[in-house]
Amino acid sequence: MWQANIGIRLHDTRTGSLHERALYAKEQGFSCAHLALSKCLDASFMCPEVMTPGLAARVKNDLDGLDCAVLGCYLNLCHPDRDAYAQTLKKYIAHLKLCRWMNAGCVGTETGNPNREYRYDVELSHTEQALELFIRRLEPVVRAAEKLGAAICIEPVYTHIVCDPKRARRVLDAIASPNLGIIFDPVNLLHPDNIARRDEIFAEAMELLEEEIQIIHLKDYRMVDGAIKSCAAGLGEMDYAAILRFAAEKKPGIQMTLEDTKPENAEDARLFIAGVYNSVSLSPKQP
């Protein structure tokens, strides 16, 4: 059985140039990375006109052999202003081009909210209208990914439009493309309203989205005054056994990137996850 393929968001590493961040991640034992250009370079690197094969070559060179699992483009596809959406669409397509030139795993995104502020609206975010809007807005991105030979992966989040595994399944079925996948972030599916069903929600996600899960995000959480506060893996209340057994048995080699770490605890978080992964990999397979 292969070892766990564990990565990190590069903007969570020690501050420095992109190359310095990549070297530091490798020193801490990480094998892949989640790259957000605006956070590791500058906001101007989100502009479509900046994204060229030359930039892709420079970025790949700076990564120094560290695999880019996810090229992040976490912009709101459901912004109500159509001109803003048009500009956002251009940025997604530019990221898909860069992804292809870099040979990155995918462009990763969340699913937005139907307002300018990108905020959770209890009355609107989980409506049928919001879901239909997201599907319409995402489809051109996916069709561009098909033409470019790249992949776009969406990340379900409770406080966004695609808030649970069932809605994610509906998006996948509606667009029906092999170039559309899922980033599975278990903690992002949780909310004080559903925390009592935590393990059921995780099981549902792994069952409904098994084929399309391309990346796993790993972080932990604590309940503080009735709210979910995220933290580095191993510092909270998460039980990773079922998720890492799923990774080992169903997704050998899958890239799993840590979130919400700090330079001083990232290596401990990696070792913690690797330990659980090794433990469940050696245990008898589940029926």
pLDDT of residue 155: 98
Residue environment code for 82-114, b if the CB has 16+ CB neighbours within 10 A, otherwise e: eeebeebbebbbbbbbbbbbbebbbbbbbbbbb
- On whether residue 59 sits in a domain, the answer given is yes
Whole-number Å distance between alpha carbons of 129 and 112: 13
- On whether residue 66 sits in a domain, the answer given is yes
- On whether residue 287 sits in a domain, the answer given is no
Helices and strands of the chain, counted as H and E runs? 9, 10
Whole-number Å distance between alpha carbons of 280 and 278: 6
| Structural domains of the chain, count | 1
- Say if residue 42 is exposed, middle or buried (CB neighbours under 10 Å; 0-12, 13-18, 19+): exposed
Q: What percent of the chain has pLDDT over 90?
A: 97
Query: Backbone dihedral region of 228: left (phi > 0), alpha (psi from -120 to 50 degrees) or beta?
Result: beta
Tell me the pLDDT tens digit for each residue of 256-286.
999 999 999 999 999 999 999 999 987 666 5
Residues contacting residue 284 through CB under 8 Å, at least 6 positions apart:
none
pLDDT of residue 282: 75
Whole-number Å distance between alpha carbons of 137 and 59: 29
- On whether residue 79 sits in a domain, the answer given is yes
pLDDT of residue 285: 60
State pTM to two decimals. Answer: 0.96
- On whether residue 87 sits in a domain, the answer given is yes
Q: Are 229 and 237 in contact (CB under 8 A)?
A: no
Helix axes 165-175, 198-208, angle to 10 degrees: 20
pLDDT of residue 284: 62
- Regions of the chain short of the pLDDT cut 70: 283-287
Q: Which two tokens stand for residue 220?
A: 């932990």
Amino acid of residue 161: I
- On whether residue 165 sits in a domain, the answer given is yes
Find the domain containing 49 and state its range. Answer: 5-282
For residue 163, give the CATH number of its domain. 3.20.20.150
pLDDT of residue 22: 98
The helix (run of H) or strand (run of E) holding residue 256 is strand 255-258
- On whether residue 182 sits in a domain, the answer given is yes
